[in-house]
Amino acid sequence: MTATENADGRTRRRLDELARRRAELAAQATERGAGRQHAKGKLTARERIDLLLDPDSFTELDALARHRCHNYGMEEQRPYGDGVVTGYGTIDGRKVCVYAQDFTVLGGSLGEVFGEKIIKVLDLAIRTGCPVIGINDSGGARIQEGVVSLAYYAELVKRHVAASGVIPQISLIIGPCAGGAVYAPATTDLVVMVEDISHMFVTGPDVLQAVTGQTVGMEELGGAHRHNAVSGAAHYMAADEKDAFDYVRMVLGHLPSNNMGDTPVFAPTAARELTEADRALDTLIPDRTAESYDMMRVVNAVIDDGELTQFHQLFAPNVICGLARVEGHSVGVVANQPTHLAGALDIDASEKAARFIRFCDAFHVPVLTFVDVPGFLTSMEQERDGIIRRGAKLIYAYCEATVPMVTVITRKAYGGGYGVMGSKHLGIDVNLAWPTAEIAVMGGESAVRIIHRQDIRQAEDPEETRERLVSEYTETMCTPYVAAERGYVDAVIMPHETRAQVATALDTLRDKRMTRLPRKHGNIPL
């Protein structure tokens, strides 16, 4: 037998070995519980990746990796892939890295090789400057591997922190995510949960009952609704897995691949000529200042096709946050919502808006703010829970941002609420106001009660006097023209002009450049 024939034989044997391992992997994927996943209303790891990415775009990494643990009989079950599928592919033709925990393999538990695989794909995403998407469905740390499992949770968080503000990082919770596992998703930019399927908590119901005596179900403790509407730990609650993946694709469509890139640009969907939606804004603001209206009508009239991809829609609804486009360019929208708490700022709303502004600033997305704010919410609970420290996050975020920023004041801009909601004094580039804007320390009723207390008490007709004084104060002080005289408002515009004025301002600011004082980092009031 010649050397060439020997070489050919070795090659064939190696090819046969690869085919055998791949067949084993395929059989393993079929046998290990896809049916159980489907019975729970859940997809398998590879089905999820296929649904998320463009068709036939996924390239898997480390499919043949196996754990090296020999404790507690683990040497007898060494499945390929070790419970997590990693690799890269495309979404709308743009490169992304992805990992999906596989609950059908050892409960999706994290061990050494499992952790190494995720770290490897995170490092690849950082080196190549592309977004990374993690699909979490895991029973937690692999007990048989002991402290090694805990170490890799910390290693994962370290990578996420290193990538923060460099590449977009998105976490989907589609199953259990408990204990130390929750902190990796918590450090990413966006957390998506699926109704009735997702659960996330530091301490599970059984441990909670053993330690505190409290009995609580998984949904109440850490379900999708709990984290979307109450804790704010999640940004979107999907109706099902397809909805979750569609939402992720929409968000990525507004973002650059990394902090050195530009956001995708689409062709404008409408000309600047007046539309019926524009004209409707002229009659939107009620005559009575105590009467509410839906700020979404303003937002939808200004952005392309009225399409806003909201963040935290169920959490702190007194502030609206979301991504949209203006003449084809991405923009982040922050707006008070008068239909909830009259649009007043509270702790949750302040933190929600602050985080969103910092997210936009990290990825070069301009910030468009719509203001109708009576101030900060007044209550003993808010003061006790730290409205000063936590409300300061919002003003800090505006001050720190270097992206183009435009503010439109539609009605109330009172007191501290005026100052923190994108006022000119924070470095906002263009500030616009409607004629209905009321920019003052406080509303007429409150101001008159303080300034003219004696006059009202001594008047022959106190009620008539009060009404007259309120009218005088409102006409002279609660108007946008006082602020415009000082340059705090760049222009007072008709409501129907808003879309065109905003588009012009953002177009002018497209090449905005700012430099900061040299520093390691600021110290935001956390």
Average pLDDT of the chain is: 91
Residue 11 has pLDDT above 90, yes or no: no
Mean pLDDT of 323-345: 97
Query: Most distant CA pair in the chain: distance in Å?
Result: 122
The order of strands in the sheet holding 190-194 is 59-61, 84-91, 94-101, 132-136, 169-173, 190-194, 236-238
Task: State in words which class domain 41-252 has.
Answer: alpha beta
Residue 86 near residue 125, CB atoms below 8 Å: no
Structure tokens at 129: 């400057």
Burial readout 298-333 (b: 16 or more C-beta within 10 A, e: otherwise): bbebbbbeeebbbbbbbbbbbbbbbbbbbbebbbbb
Distance CA 430, CA 418 (A): 15
Give the pLDDT of residue 474.
Answer: 77
Domain ranges for the chain, please list them: 1-31, 41-252, 277-442+479-508, 444-477
Mean pLDDT of 498-514: 96
Tens digit of pLDDT for each residue in 343-386? 999 999 999 999 999 999 999 999 999 999 999 998 999 999 99
Give the SS3 label for residue 500: helix
Mean pLDDT of 193-206: 92
* pLDDT more than 70, % of the chain: 96
**What is the DSSP track for 431-456?**
EEE-TT-EEESS-HHHHHHHHTHHHH
Give the pLDDT of residue 429.
Answer: 98
Least confident interval from 10-19, 39-48, 304-313, 374-383: 10-19
Task: State in words which class domain 277-442+479-508 has.
Answer: alpha beta
Give the pLDDT of residue 389.
Answer: 96
Closest CA to 251 of 171, 336, 164: 171
Residue 498 has pLDDT above 60, yes or no: yes
Give the SS3 label for residue 193: strand
pTM of the shown model = 0.92
The three-point CA angle 447-295-277 to 5° equals: 125
Closest CA to 422 of 361, 378, 465, 496: 361
Tens digit of pLDDT for each residue in 435-468? 999 998 877 777 777 887 777 777 778 778 777 7
Q: Do domains 41-252 and 277-442+479-508 have the same CATH topology?
A: yes
Q: Looking at residue 243, what DSSP letter applies?
A: H
Give the pLDDT of residue 27.
Answer: 65
What contacts 523, CB < 8 A, 6 or more positions away?
A: none
Higher-scoring residue by pLDDT: 216, 55: 55
Give the pLDDT of residue 126.
Answer: 97
Give the pLDDT of residue 104.
Answer: 86
Residue 30 has pLDDT above 80, yes or no: no
Distance CA 308, CA 311 (A): 9
Distance CA 375, CA 419 (A): 9
Give the pLDDT of residue 253.
Answer: 97
